[in-house]
Every structure is written in structure tokens, then in C-alpha cells.
A and B are shown apart, each in its own frame.
Chain A
């Protein structure tokens, strides 16, 4: 059984499929996320693919400080993703609210709505930082698996 677990974990580390969701960003972070999947940066090196539906994805890339309107939808999308799943908050807004902090129509950060596994600061976060963040997330996951043993 142990070997099977090992193989599955290896496969999970090697093929993180992402889905991108705009939770009320000013759009700059979204453009950077989209830029990071262009041929110049080539996320497919790490086995990453951009998927259209939460049902196929492993990593949810959120940008923006969750507007109150969007909160229910964000939770619903999160719950539609099959386990194991990770959430990455891209941009300062997604981490802490950023310039929108304290705004009447906004929460301050993704983690007020759903659990976040990795924060990537930057206004906007550059594609390099996003790729670095996703790779670090995978490394952390690997380490946590090892610690569990």
C-alpha cells in the first residue's frame, strides 16, 4: 500500500493543474497570471495546465480581495474542486486586502473566505513570482508528506 501512496504523491507533485478565478482584483494580477501561462514562461515545464473547470483542477489561483458579492461563489467553486486541493492567493490584495483593505464592499483577503495554502505578494505579482510560488507550494506539500511519515 505504501508504494501506491508514494506513486500517487509523486504524480500529484508532477501534475498540478490550475484554475484561475478573479475574486475582485483590479485586473492587473489576472493579466500577470495569464502571462505566466504564455509560451515565454511556459508553465507546462512543471506539468501545469490551465483548466476551465474546477472539477479538473488541483490548484485554485485567486486574485483580489473577495468582494462580498463573490464570496458565496468563491466558496462554491472551492467546494466543487475534488480533494486534494490547494488555494494560492496571488497579489497583495488577495493576501491582505491591499489597497482595498477596509472597503465596505470587500473582505480583506482570500483567507477570510476559504483556507489558503500559499500567499504570493506583489502589486501586481510578477509571473516569475507566481511560478516560483506554485513550485514552492509543491515543495512544501512534499515536505509535509514526509513529515507525516
Chain B
């Protein structure tokens, strides 16, 4: 029982995720800066930002619903942490494995997005309102290709659970390489889920101030930022577990290093995308997701079904 609690609260649970998310933010910002030929922020920057926001005054708008306004940031954090506990990181099973946990994690990772939308709605500010409608519109664009892309490897392994999926790919060496199309789709849609350029339409600074977070100050905004960072790590871990299912050998330390390398690689790709592209319009995003990404994901599923007939 105590061991379980330690695992959930410290390693590889809450505290580990917290530290990793701060490191992830620094890594992302530094890479972004270096790709623009800048020096970039110092290493303690995410910590300083977080503490500073915690120490600032908290303003709640008069017509906002105070209770929900305060609960939503925490809710977003908790949903992400719960999702993270169910993803296998460097051992074959996660902390709390059960059959169907892939679908569970996907749904858990949708909850922060919904809480952003609700946060915009309950702020009662026009900018936040536009932001929240954009969050929801975008959700309908990327969610379907992401689900299809993640489910394709699971179809090949004919299992909805992470541990069985990993075991399957371990017995069939190099078979995970056929999921490369799905991996690309998942990376692009993950960028949409994390609301970063080119899909930062919901918080487009130049158009709608700060989107759904317009009215959030101080500690509450800090929690939203934290949720965003943790979502980045959780999303990257999900993609790593499903599309790069290797490095789950017997030596835990080697596995851990491989896990960190995988996350670093995925964050690198995300930062690269952020640097290369400019923001799309919401209608362009919808068309892109439904016209190109969804058929590619569908092609991946078809391919996997054909391969499965062969095996």
C-alpha cells in the first residue's frame, strides 16, 4: 500500500511528472529559441515563471462564476495526472493497468481541453468566449484523426491495453515501423491538442488577446500552464508508448534512459513544427484535419488490417 502511494505521489507519478513537465517546458523553449538563432531563457525559467505566478494577486471577474472559475485549473491538472498514471513509461505495465486503458487515457487527455473551453465560457469575457468556441471547434477537428491514428497499432496487436500491445510488438521485432504514417498523424494532431503553433488558434495573441485564459490571473493561470506542460509530457508518453514500443527490456535504468530519449525526440519534433510553421485559420485547420489527416489515419488502419491477415 505504501509502495503504491509512493509510486503514485513521487515516482513515477505526481512529483516526477511535475519536474519532468518543467524540464520539458525549458527544453521546448530553449530549442525554439536556438532554432531562431536566439540565446533563449535560462534553465530556471519555468520554475521562476511558476513561482512568480503563484505569488501574484488573484483577480476574479465580477460576473464570472467564482467557484467553477477556481476549480477548473485544478481539474485540468488532475485529469492530466490521472491519464499519466495509466501510461506505461519504462516498464511494460503502467501503475494501474487494466484492459482498455488506451481508450481511457485518450479520453482522460480530452478532459483538460474541455476544461479550457469551460474556463473560457465561465469567464464571461468576449475574448474568452471566442477562445472557448475555437477550442471546441478545434477539438472536433483533431480528435478523430488522433483517435484513429492511435487505434491503428492497437488493431494490429488486437488489444486495447498498453501492456498487451507492448508485448505484441516485442515478440514481432520491428513491426512497429509499419505504423509510421499513424505516428506522423499523431504528432500533428498532438500539436493541435497542445494548442501550439500552427494550431494555437484558440489563444491567438494577435487576434483574441489570450483566448480562454484572458481573465485568468496569478495562481490559477499558473495551474493552467502547469496542466498544459503536463499534457505535453503525457501526450508525448502516450505517443511513445503506442508508436515507439521498444526499450522495455529487463534493466530498468536502461529503460528509463530510453524513455527520456523518446520524450526528448518527440518534444524536439513538436518544437521543430512550432518553429517551421505559422498559425493557420480555424477553417484551414478543419479542412486540413478532415481532408488530409483523417484519410491518412484511415489508410493506416486499412494497412494494419491487411498486415494482420498476413501474420
A residues with a Cβ closer than 8 A to B are: 7-8, 10-12, 14-15, 39, 42, 44-45, 47, 50-53, 55-56, 58, 80, 82-84
Contacts and interface: CB of A to CB of B under 8 A. Distances in A.
Contacts of B39: 42, 44-45
Given A7-B51, A8-B51, A15-B48, A83 B57 contact: yes
A39 B35 CA distance: 10
A125 B218 CA distance: 31
19 contacts: A8-B54, A8-B55, A11-B47, A11-B51, A12-B55, A14-B42, A14-B48, A15-B48, A44-B40, A45-B40, A45-B41, A52-B209, A53-B213, A55-B214, A55-B215, A55-B221, A56-B216, A82-B218, A83-B57
The size class of the interface chain B forms with chain A is: 35 or more
Contacts of B44: 14
A11 B57 contact: no
Contact of A53 (B37, B49, B50, B209): B209
Contacts, number: 87
Contacts of A53: 127, 209-210, 213-214
A8 to B, nearest CB: 4
A84 B209 CA distance: 21
Interface of B: 29, 33, 36-42, 44-45, 47-52, 54-59, 127, 205-206, 209-210, 213-218, 221
Given A44-B29, A45-B39, A47-B41, A55 B48 contact: no
B52 to A, nearest CB: 4
B49 A47 contact: yes
Contacts of B37: 39
Nearest to A50: B205
The 10 closest A-B pairs by CB, nearest first: A11-B51, A82-B57, A14-B48, A8-B55, A52-B205, A11-B52, A83-B57, A42-B38, A52-B209, A11-B48
Contact of A83 (B33, B52, B56): B56
Nearest to B218: A82
A62 B53 CA distance: 22
Contacts of A14: 42, 44-45, 48, 52
A144 B214 CA distance: 31
Contact of A47 (B48, B56, B127, B221): B48
Nearest to B55: A8
A47 B47 CA distance: 11
A42 B30 CA distance: 12
